[in-house]
Amino acid sequence: MKLLKILLYGFGGLLLLLFVAGVAATLFVEPNQFKPQIVEAVKDQTGRDLDIQGDLALSVFPWLGVKIGPTRMSNPEGFGDQPFAQVEEVDVRVKLMPLIERKVQADTVSLSGLQLALVRDAQGRGNWQDLIASTTGTGAPADVAPSPAGDGFALAGLVIDGIAISDALISLDDQQSGQRVAIRNLNLETGAVDLNRPLPIEARFEIDSKAPAFVGNVSVDGTVEMDLSQQRYGFGEGKIAFDLTGDAIPGDALEGKLDMNLSADLISQIFGLSDGGFEFTLTGPDLPGGQVAGAFGFQAEANLAAQTAKVSRFDGTLMGLAVSAVLDVTQLNDNPQVKAMLNLAEFSPRAWLPTLDLPIPDTSDPKVLTRVSLQTGLTANSERAALDGLRIVLDDTTLTGGAEVTNFSRPAVRFDLAADAIDLDRYMPPSTETVAVAGRDGTGDNAAPPAGAAAPSAAAPVPVGLPLDTLRELDLIGKARIERLKVSNLSVSDAQLRLEAKGGVIQLNPISVSLYQGVAKGRMALDVSANQPALSSTMNVVNVQAEPLLKDLQGEALLAGRGQVVLDLKATGLTSGSLKRSLNGNVGIKFLDGAVMGVNVAQIIREAQAALSGQPLDQARQPNRTDFAELSGTAAIVNGTINNQDLALKSPLLRIQGAGSATLPTETIDYLINASVVESLEGQGGRGLSDLRGLTIPVRVSGTFSQPSYQPDVEAVLTGIAKAKAQEELEKRQDELQAKGMEKLKKQLGDQLGGEVGEKLKGFFK
């Protein structure tokens, strides 16, 4: 619009000077003698040099005609010696009589071979800005209103039957942003130019952009509405069509058309687009479904002099989605300040995605992805954009909060979000028979070897797949809260976390969540600033019921009881294997009133006793668990090997001490349990084992995490029993020998002393 204004008023003023000079020249002298005066007048008005290289050809009544040959206008100082504008030929005819009233009524103005070179330097100064300043004072062109004093010759009106521009070239070289665009072979025709009426235009041109890189053809048919004195503009009913190709275009090719109806009464309103609207269709190989279409209506107003714009209504459809918005913009030219409210009406992604030839995500629950809507406020300027009052509905989940982005070249994101409830498992792909838990599906780190093959010494490394470059660039700080969350079949509540990512370090600190009648608190950190990512975590879990937690997580529970778990772990690497091998840290556990599932130590002892004694085993079915009143222990993890030396299990029936190791990379176990019988085992079911009371029975635990093996140490049991019997026999013999010795001594004393004294001594030794 600024370019149009420059052209119109530049031509208007220039034409007036040329017409006056032309009349005088035609009537009295040779017109070409006045070239210096015309050049001087343009210099006075614009500060630019005008070079009229061709002759001035004039005609007089009833049309005053002026034909100008090759002409150039210079650039302002600081923009080089290349011309700002040049034209091969200008042909203008105006009616003679209206000039007496200081009005220009012209036939079609023809310009052939126009070349306009627009340049913005690195400081943001444009080579057209001085022309705007020279043609406007306080916002109104200086030569529009008649001179109140009657002196001079001001332009009182301008009416042109049309403007025809052929074979034009308009280029923009923005040295500040690096943008370079050229409009070539521009052919433009307009209807009558009347400042108080809409201006029909029809244009065809080629566009060649170097940054961003694309080329194409564009056509415009429409109506321009304008009030140049008040800087008011509009684009009335019309169409825009384009065909673009290039690296900057999605899919390297894009075609489209826009049908527009932006009618406006710019005289009675500042910029009122009452019942305005447009329709568009874009086609291209990379567009969803090959085509994007939409239709919108709106009401808007703008005051470019005050640098304000307002869209009071904007609604329509985009690819079948109903959207609406209101918009308020200030400081349009300096630093646009945007305030808006955006709304995306509820829709079903399951029904919408197929219309774009996009697949529907395969989810465990086919009823999800049927309700989505969005409402948010938006504030933005050149340095910051923020969403406030954000509300997103996804099926049964409502997310609220806000987010902010600053420093768009390296975005810094801040957010504060809260959700009421979400079941993430509903959105996961459905499980299949070929997928197993914990990597034991034949495809992951723990793939089982073929039948007859030896077990691998280490699990195959599986890349973690971290986008390291992206993570290193993150500048992210925010809080998130979820009232109820289900993930991996775990149900938790009141989940809260603070996320901070900066300098390649991503931290979740603190983390707090309520789960299974307990609370878990801690922190996690991922450091990707170095070549090898480093992961660390500390967590304190208090009063959690282990059995329902493990059942939900794994489908079965190996432990029951109310317990506390303390973790402090670190690992490095880019694969799951390297993370296991580099794992270091400490673990502490303490569980009360529970049981170890999958093993019945009492039954193992009974089986050992039956094998040793040759007695039949009680065949009554026993629960495969070992009850305890307390289970505790600590472990040190060094390079993926867990070493525990103080496992202790206490119950009224048993005392168990454990020591050994488990290796994470190979998932193997080497552990020894020492079980002591302290009371009858009737409480565990079955017959009592009074013969083994007080005896320590070793149980060797070996095998793998998925298939552990429990074997009592029979040799140690036999040795223990033999020692116990030998000790019992020894004590018995000692008692017998002692009793016999006393009897013999009493008899000898009685016989020797005799009488009353002897009898008393016998009684003393009883």
pLDDT tens-place string over residues 279-308: 767 676 666 667 777 777 777 777 777 888
Listed range (42-56, 304-318, 721-735) with the worst mean pLDDT: 721-735
pLDDT tens per residue, range 416-450: 999 999 999 999 998 764 333 333 333 334 344 44
The residues near 594 (Cβ < 8 Å, ≥ 6 apart) are: 546, 547, 559, 560, 561, 562, 563, 627, 628, 631
Could you give the count of Cα atoms lying within 13 Å of 72 in the half-sphere of its Cβ? 10
Query: Which comes out higher in pLDDT, residue 763 or 747?
Result: 747
Q: Which of 698, 708, 694 is nearest to 672 (CA)?
A: 698
**How many whole angstroms separate alpha carbon 609 and alpha carbon 615?**
8
pLDDT at 724: 61
Contact 260, 235 (CB under 8 A): yes
DSSP character for 27?
H
Six-digit token string for 275: 């019942």
The residues near 91 (Cβ < 8 Å, ≥ 6 apart) are: 65, 66, 67, 68, 109, 110
Listed range (166-180, 555-569, 670-684) with the worst mean pLDDT: 670-684
**Residue 729 predicted with pLDDT over 90:** no
**Residue 354 predicted with pLDDT over 90:** no
DSSP character for 352?
H
Which spans in 591-640 are helix H? 601-613
Maximum CA pair distance of the chain?
Answer: 186
Six-digit token string for 549: 């937690």
Listed range (57-71, 368-382, 469-483) with the worst mean pLDDT: 57-71
Q: What is the mean pLDDT of the chain?
A: 78
pLDDT band at 411 (very low <50, low <70, confident <90, very high): very high
**Which phi and psi (to 5°) does residue 143 adopt?**
-105, 20
Six-digit token string for 278: 């447009």
- In angstroms, the Cα distances linking 696 to 153, 333, 713 are 121, 88, 11
DSSP character for 84?
S
**Residue 272 predicted with pLDDT over 90:** no
Cβ–Cβ contacts within 10 Å for residue 13, how many? 23
pLDDT band at 263 (very low <50, low <70, confident <90, very high): very low
| Most confident among 49-53, 55-59, 371-375, 618-622 (mean pLDDT) | 371-375
**How many whole angstroms separate alpha carbon 582 and alpha carbon 566?**
19
Contact 306, 333 (CB under 8 A): no
**How many whole angstroms separate alpha carbon 750 and alpha carbon 734?**
24
pLDDT at 370: 96
